[in-house]
Amino acid sequence: MHEALYYKKKEKNAVACALCPHYCKIQEGKAGICRSRVNRGGVLYAANYGKVTSYGMDPIEKKPLYHFYPGSYILSAGTVGCNFQCQFCQNWSIAHGDPPTNDITPAGLVEMAMDYAGMGYPNIGLAYTYNEPFVWYEFVFETAVLAKEAGLKNVLVTNGSVNEDPLREILPFIDAMNIDVKGFTEDYYKKYCKGGLQPVLKTVETARRECHVELTTLLIPGLNDAEEEIERLADWIASLDRDIPLHFSRYFPMYKMDLPATPLEKLVQAREIAAKKLRYVYIGNAQIPGTNDTFCPRCGDEVISRIGHSARGVGLSGRKCSNCGEEIKFVGKIYE
């Protein structure tokens, strides 16, 4: 196994992990909350290093990233484990189960991404996703360094629960992040995710200065969809940057939660509330016409049309709205 980063040795062969805000004290032979960092003989190992549960080419919009090389594809890969225990986990079989894995090296994953690009796919790089990529830290870090050297983009799809030092160490190699802001109260995070809100907000505040950032909130009826909570979320994002894209995603019963699916009208209402403060707000995991498209924040004209996970510029002159000349904030080019 591969020795982990960010831990300290303690008495009686115990170790203290410092990767995420849980600061797990792990006894000999035990694992941390994430299940991926294991104490063997007083040394902390990354048990999931080089272990892949799933990989494949995904549209960048599926991450979701709507303002980062729209219409492109990205090779996505994930492993096992998570440092949250969300009752509604959409990928519980790999986050909390014991799925089969395949072995791969950082160089092997980068080579795979390059091969896809060579076969004609509009592949821009690698996305570390499906489970929580920060509990795969050592492998992701080494792979991201190699990918950057090869001219590829690196994307993290994350819950944002990571300590500042490891975050700052990896950020120079990360081009974009989609960060879940699962709710906007500490009680929600504590009760339904077994985590904390403040570390996530700190990650967003730090990351958005270094790379492209988009945010996702899975709306669960009666738990995190109150108008006042959506208003506070939008106010906080606007205090950072009104151009940060926000995605409201529809919840469906999953894992340990059997509440009914989010009503479509709740998603529309949340979007309308957030759009009073933010310039780009979307709805995902639901078929509501127009809510995946990008509109000019000044005049309201459609500038990027999306059908499924494909994107097409429809009202752009270069990077500006062809109607009013407003600059539309997105990274890279549109792949049509």
Measured in whole angstroms, how far is the alpha carbon of residue 302 from the centre of its chain?
Answer: 26
What pLDDT shows up at residue 218? 98
What pLDDT shows up at residue 308? 83
High-pLDDT (> 70) share of the chain, %:
100
High-pLDDT (> 90) share of the chain, %:
96
What pLDDT shows up at residue 146? 98
> Cα torsion for 209, 214, 219, 223, to the nearest 10°?
-10
Angle value at C-alpha 300, between 277 and 248, nearest 5 degrees: 50
- Name the token pair of 59: 């549209």
Q: Are strands 281-284 and 246-250 parallel, antiparallel or unpaired?
A: parallel
The conformational region for residue 272 under phi > 0 = left, psi -120 to 50 = alpha, else beta, is alpha
Helix (H, G, I), strand (E, B) or coil at 201: helix
- Residue 305 identity: S
Could you report the per-residue pLDDT of 178-222, keeping only the tens digit for each? 999 999 999 999 999 999 999 999 999 999 999 999 999 999 999
- At 167, the pLDDT band (50, 70, 90 cuts) reads very high
Averaged pLDDT of the chain: 97
